Structure 1
């Protein structure tokens, strides 16, 4: 029987089918750019899209932006402003939205999907649904077993068969993992019940399923100091652990041995992101509002005062000015936020220039970082007296304390110990950075090619190298392929 099938080129497909493929959501902004350059079909005027669009690809990019979760929540004026900031180019708007979405979650690289997170003296990384850890294993935070005190190279953490890790968060002394199934595992110091296992207050040396969240699928987790925040797929927030400052959001200071839902946030609306500081929490609603609660010290709650908040309270500075926040980062003594137009805001203590405003003066409420207003920021990362801002071109800006070289400016260390205004981390300029995470005194980034680079303190092998002590220049951290990863890549 003869073969009646033959290869069909894009040029032979009907325009409406080509448009359907382009708008499927399977292509990135860069994919669309490449397609536009490879075939005249994508730029042909065939009556299928309005005249105001430059090409079929341009129209497809607009359609993808219009249906994007962030863009669709923006008011018309903000949408127009973003379009103008992107030079009237819908493909760049799409690139910004996709980069924004990935940088705080799982990033797509040429070596697979990846995510990194840094703790006090350790680092965890996800690659292709497997998770690896290195550094100091204080109280079992590496998830490698009770016999492990330190890992000098990224070592895979064992999970039950078929378990695929989708998100990870690390604090000083515990870690939490979200599976693709929505299940949550935790490990580390559980003396404050921050791991969510009320049957024991002993350290948990290997990831253990949080039984009380069975049947409540989660999408994100954030580990604070002795407490944990869980964000469900439905946009609800659960907390457990220490509650000395009301950081669990339940209107009291009573510790919780297992995750409990924050009812107040449930009545406010869908939560899309949470960030845990040492003793406080920032939460972002689908509509772009920010609610903070917990310790008011250092003005990290953004309300202009230092009172503890036992219930979630809206940061009015954002609401009054119509600012649609999409991502927040909760540092030790300061905080940062990113809005839907790529603008950055910082507040809290200004030690060492951590707020980036050219001085060390505290900001009691969020203030626009004006020196970066001409850039489209896609990620902010605040930690111990330092801040990083990733922009859509893949460049990284850093400011604040340069202790142990964790800010990435080896030449400036001879002249000063702090950077007061955003400055390009030139040691990363040859790389397109897709995600950044910084710990106490070390920093790790992932590039779009799947490289993991680290710099700063390596005294406890938190940068995945045995012989180095301090890395002033970004140094590659290697993950060896496991057999299961090889299988995943072939599927």
Structure 2
């Protein structure tokens, strides 16, 4: 009979049960697996489980977690082999890469920067700071500036999972899949038929009721909605065909982009001022809208009224994971972490060491040794977040929004350069506005740099920051304010 008083040890479990613990329930991160492997011989040993393929149970667990990851599943066999090779044949690193890509657009904290404001998701609540006259801050008509991050109240308790903001409006996705918008709706960009006055507090987009969404992207005067089923809807101004319906007719409420429904499931969307990029689950990028500055990636500057696949990627079998639509250029990265840029090259924002426009996507060779997990483009500047948490920046240094204080004889960084001031912080997300930038670390710390004249950095002082300066949110004080208001 077993000794009931003997302490139980996980080492007593059969290896197949230990493996099931590692791969089921709440998914472990790659860092968790590494810690387990280093602290226990139980996890570090192979136990005779596929000894020729995996060095340990942790390696096998990492492999199994990769094969159930949505990004990995969408890759072709050749793309899967390539990323495995890029990660030095280490499944834990492959898993870290995949999870870092997901974390850069989700997680407990998220940031998005508009022209003169910043919005932050923290613990499913949304905060905003900066300046606006049209309601994009979401605090009512009486609030045109928030010096510190202030919580946005929704009509009812809301768990927000994603937010996007442009110059004059913002859109929020709730855990329920509902979408709320606020700001200037004169162009129908908020998805409501009432255009008589700005929407000063978040309002439910009734036309999307019953159509759960997972992402929104705010253009200059239009909005793109991505549903959980992978369908794309658009509304707002359509001067350049940026709504993707084959015409230039404005749409007062969201309407499905039918061509994208026929080509597969869309997994990510990005909106420039007057154009849209959509990435499908098989890594194809479709673009439509304004063709100026070659941002559509087709080698020409004509407008596209229907979504059109970027052939440069298709012909080479490149599986694109994410894209970022800047004001005049685009940056993307693929399933092996390689970075591509195209569009207007003025100020070096394409990172190729010159100021030449790129009419088609071009591989950024100087970053070929790095695995990109997030890219971010705005006017004349670009950031690339790589596996491990380092950030590279290039383009225009104006107002310090690129994070390099040593301007020297030039205000341009022509090739990717690492932000030394963020070394060791482990950045998980980066977002840049017109003249300011904010980053979030894996530990939930926030740093901002650039112009702060309109309080877009959320600092007590309105002075700008040439180097990253930590941003704090007084959540306790905010909770007390909300409680008193509810009474």
Tell me the TM-score range normalised by the shorter chain: over 0.9
Which residue pairs with 2:199 in the alignment? Answer: 204
Determine which of 116, 123, 126 is the counterpart of 1:121.
116
Determine which of 245, 251, 256 is the counterpart of 1:256.
251
Which residue pairs with 2:420 in the alignment? Answer: 426
Distance 1:8-1:162 versus aligned 2 partners, 3 A rule: farther
CA contact (8 A) 1:49 1:56 kept: no
Which residue pairs with 1:54 in the alignment? Answer: 55
Q: How far is the alpha carbon of 1:420 from its aligned partner?
A: 0.4
Q: How far is the alpha carbon of 1:23 from its aligned partner?
A: 1.1
Q: How far is the alpha carbon of 1:45 from its aligned partner?
A: 3.2
CA distance in 1, matches of 2:167, 2:5: 59
CA contact (8 A) 1:349 1:363 kept: yes
CA distance in 2, matches of 1:96, 1:45: 24
Determine which of 443, 459, 463 is the counterpart of 1:469.
463
Which residue pairs with 1:152 in the alignment? Answer: 147
CA contact (8 A) 1:130 1:485 kept: no
Which residue pairs with 2:433 in the alignment? Answer: 439
Structure 2 gaps, min length 5: 481-487
Answer yes or no: is 1:173 the counterpart of 2:174: no
Answer yes or no: is 1:266 the counterpart of 2:261: yes
CA contact (8 A) 1:223 1:276 kept: yes
CA distance in 2, matches of 1:45, 1:125: 43
CA distance in 1, matches of 2:154, 2:321: 32
Which residue pairs with 2:74 in the alignment? Answer: 73
* TM value normalised by structure 1: 0.95
Answer yes or no: is 1:316 the counterpart of 2:311: yes
Which residue pairs with 1:489 in the alignment? Answer: none
CA distance in 1, matches of 2:37, 2:451: 45
Which residue pairs with 1:228 in the alignment? Answer: 223
Answer yes or no: is 1:98 the counterpart of 2:99: yes
Distance 1:49-1:480 versus aligned 2 partners, 3 A rule: farther
Which residue pairs with 1:325 in the alignment? Answer: 320
Answer yes or no: is 1:452 the counterpart of 2:446: yes
CA contact (8 A) 1:238 1:259 kept: yes
CA distance in 2, matches of 1:5, 1:433: 47
Q: How far is the alpha carbon of 1:199 from its aligned partner?
A: 2.7
CA distance in 2, matches of 1:196, 1:174: 11
- Aligned residue for 2:155, secondary structure, equals coil
Q: How far is the alpha carbon of 1:480 from its aligned partner?
A: 1.9
CA distance in 1, matches of 2:409, 2:422: 21
CA contact (8 A) 1:193 1:201 kept: no
**Paired residues, what number?**
476
CA contact (8 A) 1:289 1:315 kept: yes
CA distance in 1, matches of 2:73, 2:461: 50
Which residue pairs with 2:347 in the alignment? Answer: 352
Structure 1 gaps, min length 5: 108-112, 487-491
Runs of 4+ in 1 over 4 A off after TM superposition: 4-7, 482-486
Q: How far is the alpha carbon of 1:21 from its aligned partner?
A: 1.3
Which residue pairs with 1:110 in the alignment? Answer: none
CA contact (8 A) 1:192 1:201 kept: no
- For the aligned residue pairs, the C-alpha RMSD in angstroms reads 1.5
Out of 463-472 and 414-423, give the one that drifted further: 463-472
